[in-house]
Amino acid sequence: MNNIQELKLDIGFANLVVGIGNQPNMFPEVYIALADKDGNIIQDIALARPQGVSENPDATNEEINKTIECLIWTDEYTDNHTHKYEIKMYEEDENNG
């Protein structure tokens, strides 16, 4: 079962697509891409998901640390992401809050 919600914005030459993937037995992810007028993805732009999901899709919530992995595609000639960022969740403690 494919459980993906998408928002499409017509930007003239293509549609800017923002999608939320929430597959059964998978952690959710948010992606941004360009799609042609028929809905075919023609260029990935960004993907955000809990860190560790790509290595272990069966991981439990306890096994995933509180970090979001952001992949960015800036080279139109490759399917591989060009940048990867890890964003840790802010947690207040006695030193910062």
pLDDT one-digit tens code per residue, 87-96: 988 877 777 6
Q: Which residues fall within 8 angstroms of residue 78, CB to CB, at 6 or more apart? A: none
Distance CA 63, CA 48 (A): 18
**What does pLDDT average to over the chain?**
84
- The answer to whether 53 and 26 are in contact (CB under 8 A) is yes
For the chain, give me the number of helices (H) and strands (E)?
0, 6
Q: Find tokens 């992606």 and name the residue.
A: 31
Residue 78 has pLDDT above 60, yes or no: yes
Look at residue 1 in the predicted model and tell me its pLDDT: 40
Which sequence spans correspond to the domains of the chain?
4-88
- pLDDT-derived band at 84, boundaries 50, 70, 90: very high
- pLDDT-derived band at 2, boundaries 50, 70, 90: low
Enter the pTM of the model.
0.75
**What 3-state class would DSSP assign to 49?**
strand
Higher pLDDT, residue 16 or 58? 16
Residue 85 has pLDDT above 50, yes or no: yes
